[in-house]
Chains A and B, each alone.
Chain A
Amino acid sequence: MTTALREPSSPLARAALERAAAEVAAWRSDAEAAQELEQIARAVARRTGGSASAALAPQLSALATAARIDTDVPTESRIRAAKGIKAGVKALVGFYVNHVAQQVRVLGEATVNLGRVTSKELGRLEGEVTVLREEVAELTRTVAELRGDAS
Chain B
Amino acid sequence: MSAVHQIIPVLAPHDAVGGHTRRVRDALRSRGHHSEIFAEVIVGPVPDGAHLLQDFDAHGAGADLLVYQSSTGSTAADWVLSRDLPFAVNYHNVTPASFFERWHPDAAANMRRARNQMRAMSLRSVAGLADSAYNAAELTEAGYRNVQVTPLLLDVSDAPPAPDPDTIARLGARRRGQRWLFVGRLAPNKCQHDLVAALAAYRRRFDPDAELVLVGSAAVNEYQDAVLALADDLGVDGAVTVVSGLSDEELSAYYESADVFVCVSEHEGFCIPLIEAMRHDLPVVAFAAAAVPDTVGEAGLLLGQKDPATVAAAVHELGTDEALRAELTAAGAARVRDFDLARTAPVFVDAVEGALRELQTGA
Contact = CB atoms under 8 A, between A and B. Distances in A.
A48 B194 CA distance: 10
Given A57-B101, A61-B105, A43 B230 contact: yes
Contacts, number: 114
Given A1-B289, A28-B309, A16 B314 contact: yes
A12 B327 contact: yes
Interface stretch (A17-25, A86-94, A106-114): A17-25
B288 A5 contact: yes
A85 interface: no
B193 A44 contact: yes
B205 A61 contact: no
Contacts of A84: none
Interface residues of B, number: 49
B327 A20 contact: no
A17 B233 contact: no
B355 interface: no
Contact of A49 (B102, B197, B200, B301): B102
Contact of A24 (B108, B200, B223, B309): B309
B204 interface: yes
9 contacts: A3-B293, A5-B293, A12-B327, A13-B327, A24-B309, A33-B205, A41-B197, A44-B194, A47-B233
Interface of A: 1-6, 8-10, 12-13, 16-17, 19-21, 23-24, 27-28, 33, 36-37, 40-41, 43-44, 46-49, 54, 57-58, 61
Given A16-B317, A23-B313, A47-B226, 5 more contacts: A3-B293, A16-B321, A20-B316, A37-B201, A44-B197
